[in-house]
Amino acid sequence: MKKWLITVFIAIIFLFSGCALLIKSLLPNEYEVLESNWGINLPKADEVIYLLTTEANFHGDGEWFTLFDYSKPIDFSNTSFTKLTSSDVSHVNNKIAQFEKSTIDIRQKSKEIVDIFNQYDIKAEIDDYYYYDGRNNGNDFIILLYKAKSHQLYKYEWHQ
């Protein structure tokens, strides 16, 4: 009897593990979501760090702040990214600051959120690359900032 219970228990564990892996494989990855939602094709990063994520909800509302770390530079010459000049930098930094302020406000000034933005105090500079797209009267938008010197791309995404 005891062996039978152990066998059933192990079978249930394998069944749940298999279902979890199947569900995970069917869900779109970060790159597929960017392509389907925004029409953006990014090369695969060496590392993707989810700095701030909103738990999945029915409406898809939330804020996301993600770091894509690359070991080699990315060529943005044939993309819709803009290479920043001195006249662009202030505008881009204002967009990022507005995202940070709105996220902190909506998260009720959570210390954890404030700490993330303090730790990753990202500022656009000349020769970085920038992409912005907004929809739904500004209630949905994405900001992508590629830091040319460090080969890091930061994604700020907002849906409300």
- The full set of domain ranges for the chain reads 40-159
> Does residue 149 surpass a pLDDT of 70?
yes
Distance CA 156, CA 92 (A): 12
- Supply the mean pLDDT for the chain: 86
> Does residue 28 surpass a pLDDT of 70?
no
Average pLDDT (105-121) is 92
Confidence at residue 92, expressed as pLDDT on a 0 to 100 scale: 97
Sheet holding 82-83, edge to edge: 47-52, 62-69, 152-159, 140-147, 129-135, 82-83
Higher pLDDT, 12 or 104: 104
Distance CA 151, CA 5 (A): 54
> Does residue 57 surpass a pLDDT of 80?
no
The residue among 144, 138, 142, 145 whose CA lies nearest residue 157 is 142
pTM for this entry: 0.82
Distance CA 6, CA 139 (A): 52
> Does residue 99 surpass a pLDDT of 90?
yes
> Does residue 23 surpass a pLDDT of 70?
no
